[in-house]
Structure 1
Amino acid sequence: LGITAHWIKQNETGHLSLEASLIAFHHLVGQHGEKGLEKVALDMLDCTSATLKVRVTYHLSVLPRIPN
C-alpha cells in the first residue's frame, strides 16, 4: 500500500508545477480486508504526521426555521 503527496510549487519566475512524492509504503502480506487496510493506512498517515496537516471541512446547510 503506498501513499503519495501532491502539491503545487511556484518557482522564482512564478511558474507553477505539480509536484508529487511517495511519502509512505507498506508491504501487505496475506489476505487483507477493509478494516485491516483502514488501520494500516491510518498508521501510515500517523507515522508521516500527515493526519496533523490534513484538515477536512464540513459545510452544513442550515435551513431557516419555518414557524408553525
Structure 2
Amino acid sequence: MDPALEQRLTDLESRVAHHERMAEEMSEVLYEQSRTIDRLTLHLRRLREQMAEVEAGGGRSPQDDRPPPHY
C-alpha cells in the first residue's frame, strides 16, 4: 500500500476513534443532565403541591392562630 495512503487511513481511524470517545462522553453528560432535570422536576412538583396546600388554607395548626408571646 502507498505510504501516503496508509498514513491518511491511519489519521482517519484516529479521528474516528476520537469522535467516538467524544460521542460517548457527551452521551454520559446528557444522561446525567436528564437525571438532574427529572429530580428537579419532581422537586418543583412537590413544592407546587405544598404551595397550593398553603394557599388553600391547609396545613395550618391551631398554634398559628394564637397571638405571639409578647402580647
Whether these two folds match at TM > 0.5 is no
**TM-score of the aligned structures, taking structure 2 as reference length:** 0.22
Structure with greater proportional strand content: 1
**TM-score of the aligned structures, taking structure 1 as reference length:** 0.22
Structure with greater proportional helix content: 2
Larger Rg belongs to:
2
